[in-house]
Chains A and B, each alone.
Chain A
Amino acid sequence: MHQEIARIRASFQKEIREAATLDAMERLRVAYLGRKGAVAAVFDALKNLPPDDRRTIGAEANRLKREIERALGERRRELEKTEHESVLKKEWLDITRPGLVRARGHLHPITTVRRALEDIFISMGFGIAEGPEMELEHYNFDSLNLPETHPAREMQDTWWIRHPSVSVKKQRSEKKTRLLLRTQVTSIQVRYMERNTPPFRIIMPGTVFRREATDASHEMQFAQMDGLIVDTKVSLADLKGIMETVLKKLFGPRIKTRLRAGFFPFVEPGVEMDIECLYCGQKGCSVCKQSGWIEVFPGGVVHPTVFKAAGYNPKQWQGIAWDIGVDRIAILKYKIPDVRLLRSGDLRFLKQF
């Protein structure tokens, strides 16, 4: 039996050296340690031996079993380690392949600019007021110191709506007024003032319409955002401060601005703020009409006539008001060459933002 055990040991040592895979290891385990394996056969044969031999051979067989177990265990761990390595290696990914994406949607550039503006104003305590696009001549013009006979109305070519005139009650009297597509969101001013008591500060975003032939820089429909502060003490210097703050937040702290005279019947004094032309760096180009400046921000001190139209006492309140051309800001910010692209609905354009 000693020889038999020695033979098993020798053959196991030879075979385990040759076993290169975990499967081979398993086969080896079954062949030597399995119920019908070589070691079991030795234990089986013990019962036929005399008791003395049985003890010594038994001890030897147990030693063999432990040796085999240990050897198998060690070898298995070794093999597992290399096999694991190779599995991981096989799972190699090409990290240069593009990532899988679900197509994202895009906000319209006008929305993005509008939100940026809203955020700036909301942070300064402004509320948001809206008004109808289908507006009364009264709110769009008359109440803003632009009576029908005022040639300044020609600055805003108007789309008239085919509809009978409607009545509006005006401080004890009633008058008929026509319907139009608002030419300016300033039309919200008197509407808001009629329903609210100062002090307040609001912005008025919205779409406006001008009956104009369109080209790369003129639209018949565009977005504006007006602002209005009514308080007991508010000045032209405040307006200048607001305009500069907004433009710096939009275009960066180094943007060059200038405030100059402007004429709008609903403000007095009237001003206009320009920014440096971002297209040409003030060298002069077709966008800035060679002037190096682009007008973006008309405004002024609210005209007493407007306060009167709203039923306010002009002696009691002061106001500053301004308008921002949202389309124009979008065009400048994103360097869009043709304003008509904004409402083209063309995804080749919209997906760029």
Chain B
Amino acid sequence: MKFSYNWLKELTSIKKSPDETAELLNMRAFEVERVEKVGNDFTLDAKVPVNRISDAGNHQGLAKEIAALLGLKVKKHSMGAFVSTPQAQTLKIKIASPELCPRYTAVILNLKKNDVSPPWMQKRLATCGFRPINAIVDATNYVMLETGQPLHAFDLDKIEGGRMNIRESKEGETLTTLDGTTHILPQGTIVIEDAERLIDLAGIMGGQNSAVSDGTKRILLQAAAFDPVRIYRATRALNFSSDAAKIYAAGTDPNKTMGALRRATDILLQMDVVDVPQGWIDLYPKKTAQTKIAFRPAYADKVIGEPLGHQFHQKAFERFGFKKRAGGKDKWLIEVPTERRDLHQEEDLIEESARMYGYERLASKLPESHLIPAPKNDAVWWEHQIADHLAGAGFTETQLYEFTGDHELDQFGIDRARVIALENPMNPETRYLVPRAAIKSVSSAADNLRHFDAVKLFGISKSFRKDPLEERKDLVICLAAKGTSGEEEFYLLKGAVEQMLESMGISDQWYDDAIDETRATYHDTRIFHPYRRAEIKMGDEKIGVIGEIHPDILKKIKSKGRIAAAEIDMEKLARLATSEAEYRPIGKYPAMIRDIAVVVPRDTRTQEVENIISAAGGELLADTDLFDYFQDENLQESEEKSLAFHLVFQSAERTLMDAEADAVMQRIVSALEEKNWEVKK
């Protein structure tokens, strides 16, 4: 909201400069975002919070606020001495329910002319960001800016049948507002209708059919109070608002309508555009009473954390114009003006005292309380451990958007059945919530391959699915490289996963590539190369997936290289992880190492070879360690590969003799040769 500094100065005897005034409001009331020089005036652009619009969202109110904070007085306008009698009912006004419109105040004015407003008024309107239009519109805007009470002028002769009915709209009713927009109304919007049609979107904007125009002879100038909730809902439902609607949605003070109307009439008379009116229309069935709030000075001091004392609070309330009505020494009853719609309870009054004192003057403390050890959050702790481990292993952490669109889902061939859509996307890229974390990381890896030859990424991120509703947290690790066959990336990734799991005390995971394609979770591995993918399991439980991204997907996302990715359920990981470790005695007797190489068909699994070796090796074989996995041209031709292992022999009871190791070796060789595999020692 924009305020004119000169106007504020006229309403109170403020001595501070525009910048100092802004600073005062910043510290004690609300933010003034900008001070701007406009001619010989200054615009103060204030972010008046919605609970203060009713009282401080206008020049009188803001002047009052400044005056209170500085201990100054506010000047009052003298009103013209009009006959203060109810006007003869030339117009029948009916209010369907008092809650829609707690007060309806209006005056009928004969219009002498409706030309331009005086230059001083135009200047002030411009300072506050309003475009001058004509005398009537400018005067109503001016009074709204001054008092915070929105006003509206109808062409009285366009109100059919001399009747006005203020009621809630029925769904589907239509109304064209004076800006030319036609609205199809939802149920429950406050409207005004005459004998024949809707003529006003109450509190938001007048109807085109009842607007003041060049030929207008008589106007009905309205200053009403409307139900803020209904106005707010209507602006949301219609996606249509106005300066008046913003004020009404925050709530106005019904006790202010008459003053504003009289002030507006006064100004119009001064401008000589209307005749002196005969009297007023005022429907106010139930007067809004002032709120009384209990206040305990000692409690206030406790909440603020500074002994301000009874006197300080009393003085503060006096300056804000609150009245101490009753109550003893330690419990007061404070009456606040009806325009202070933000004050309902003790805490609200405590804030008034606190800001009057000044938060900048408050002495800082730290809470005194019981020493309770902070509970450790294991999930968060493991997230940090994992991130540290992977960063140490050369992976860089990403944080990515959790939105996705049809294009991206199609690239990854994701079925929409479990994808959650947003009601109000901003663009095609924000239509859905991302259904699996890997999508975003893989896209990011592909993007990064434009600038790097090799990419190692990880992230701990959320994804969302429906039926049933699910919010997951996954660890995603991605490895990508340009100009490779992808094989090395896969094994590097697998190694990184293994090492990470080991650091979390997890060692009995296994890799299952016999994926049941009829199972629901099959969908998790569909983004992978069909012959380069596996589920990572602990026992029967799947904890994640690993694989190389399907070449078709790589093509669709225009990746410049192969990408391998692993996606592991963080919740399961944190549950299985353990930081416990226990000492095991170091072997007393020396180990003996023998190497063995075996040539096997290309599609033989390393694990199968290892299983045969360890079965034949018996208890003296302490460890089997693959150190070479190789295929030269000859082997390629014969569709074979060579696997070489270090075999570690060790006994817990004695130093082994060469002959003992030789005997075991012989058994292993025989077992391997039984499979018709060529063994090289």
Contacts and interface: CB of A to CB of B under 8 A. Distances in A.
Contact of B302 (A149, A220, A235, A260): A235
B51 A126 contact: no
A211 interface: yes
Q: Helix, strand, loop or mixed for chain A's interface?
A: mixed
A234 B370 CA distance: 12
A281 interface: no
B377 A261 contact: no
A234 B452 contact: no
Contacts of A271: 359
A99 B324 CA distance: 78
A111 B390 CA distance: 13
A348 B393 CA distance: 18
B432 to A, nearest CB: 9
B27 A258 contact: yes
Contact of B377 (A130, A134, A162, A200): A130
Contact of A289 (B34, B303, B366, B401): B34
Contacts of A179: 469
Contacts of B360: 258-260
Given A270-B351, A345-B400, A161 B423 contact: yes
Interface in B406-438: 420-424, 426, 430, 433
A116 to B, nearest CB: 12
A132 B398 CA distance: 20
B250 interface: yes
Contact of A125 (B374, B395, B426): B374
Contacts of A58: none
Interface residues of B, number: 92
A126 B377 CA distance: 11
A271 B362 CA distance: 12
Given A122-B374, A125-B372, A350-B398, A130 B306 contact: no
A140 interface: no
Contacts of B398: 108, 345, 350
A199 to B, nearest CB: 6
B282 interface: no
Interface stretch (B207-215, B379-387, B578-586, B643-651): B379-387
A129 interface: yes
A346 to B, nearest CB: 7
Contacts of B375: 127
B396 A342 contact: no
A240 B370 CA distance: 20
Interface string A19-45: 000000000000000000000000000
A301 B347 contact: yes
Contacts of B167: none
B260 interface: no
Given A199-B372, A221-B402, A261 B302 contact: no
B28 interface: yes
Nearest to B421: A162
Contacts of A102: 394
A351 interface: yes
A107 B359 contact: no
Interface string A50-94: 000000000000000000000000000000000000000000000
A341 to B, nearest CB: 11
Interface string B129-158: 000000000000000000000000000000
A10 interface: no
Interface stretch (A1-9, A168-176, A183-191, A241-249): A241-249
A238 B305 contact: yes
Interface in A257-279: 258-261, 263, 265, 268-271
A268 B394 contact: no
B369 A234 contact: yes
B303 to A, nearest CB: 6
A15 B391 CA distance: 66
A111 B51 contact: no
B59 interface: no
B426 A220 contact: yes
Contacts, number: 237
Interface in A215-250: 220-221, 223, 229, 231, 233-238, 240-242, 244-245
Contacts of B471: 132-134
A159 interface: yes
A163 interface: yes
B49 interface: yes
Central interface residue in B28, B347, B394, B444, by most chain A CB within 10 Å: B347
Contact of A237 (B249, B365, B393): B365
B250 A151 contact: yes
Given A149-B229, A263-B30, A347-B455, A104 B392 contact: yes
A343 B369 CA distance: 39
B354 A269 contact: yes
A87 B464 CA distance: 66
Given A105-B390, A161-B422, A343-B401, A151 B447 contact: no
B359 A261 contact: yes
B331 interface: no
B371 A347 contact: no
B466 interface: yes
Contacts of B347: 268-269, 301, 303-304
A261 B30 contact: yes
A108 B373 CA distance: 29
A240 B364 contact: yes
A192 B396 CA distance: 33
Contact of B452 (A209, A242, A268, A347): A347
Given A260-B26, A304-B347, A237 B362 contact: yes
A130 B379 contact: yes
15 contacts: A103-B456, A105-B393, A107-B391, A108-B398, A132-B471, A134-B420, A159-B424, A181-B433, A207-B462, A237-B306, A240-B362, A261-B26, A263-B49, A303-B347, A345-B448
Given A200-B372, A304-B345, A350-B396, 11 more contacts: A125-B371, A127-B376, A149-B233, A220-B403, A220-B426, A223-B399, A231-B367, A236-B354, A238-B365, A269-B304, A290-B34
Interface of A: 102-108, 110-111, 115, 118, 122, 125-130, 132-134, 149-152, 154, 159-163, 179, 181, 199-201, 205, 207, 209, 211, 213, 220-221, 223, 229, 231, 233-238, 240-242, 244-245, 258-261, 263, 265, 268-271, 289-290, 301, 303-304, 318, 320, 342-343, 345-348, 350-351
Top-10 shortest CB links A-B: A237-B305, A235-B305, A269-B351, A345-B444, A263-B49, A160-B423, A105-B391, A241-B364, A128-B377, A259-B359
